[in-house]
Amino acid sequence: MDAWIERPELAQLIATRVAQRPVVVLTGIRQVGKRALLRHLFPSHRYLTLDLPSLAEAAEAHRISC
């Protein structure tokens, strides 16, 4: 497994925003580590990917809760 690269400035910014807002959007180009960083920062949070069309449809229809 490759070594984990720490991103302290981003981690701090996300922690600040999460404390301020009910929803925070993290966007960026492909494969830069968005999901990995969020999973690292919030290991006990539920994780859902809407990459799966069936889950995206369920979310739109309010059939899943977070």
Helix (H, G, I), strand (E, B) or coil at 7: coil
Residue nearest ligand ATP, Cβ-based: 33
Site string for ligand ATP, 20-39 (x = CB under 6 A): --------x-xxxxxxx---
Binding partner at 46 among ligand ATP, Mg ion, none, C-beta below 5 to 8 Å by kind: none
Cα–Cα distance measured from residue 12 to residue 29, given in angstroms and rounded to the nearest whole number = 20
Closer residue to ligand ATP (CB): 29 or 61: 29
CB of 60 to ligand ATP, least distance (A): 20
Nearest-10 crossing angle of helices 8-20, 34-41: 70
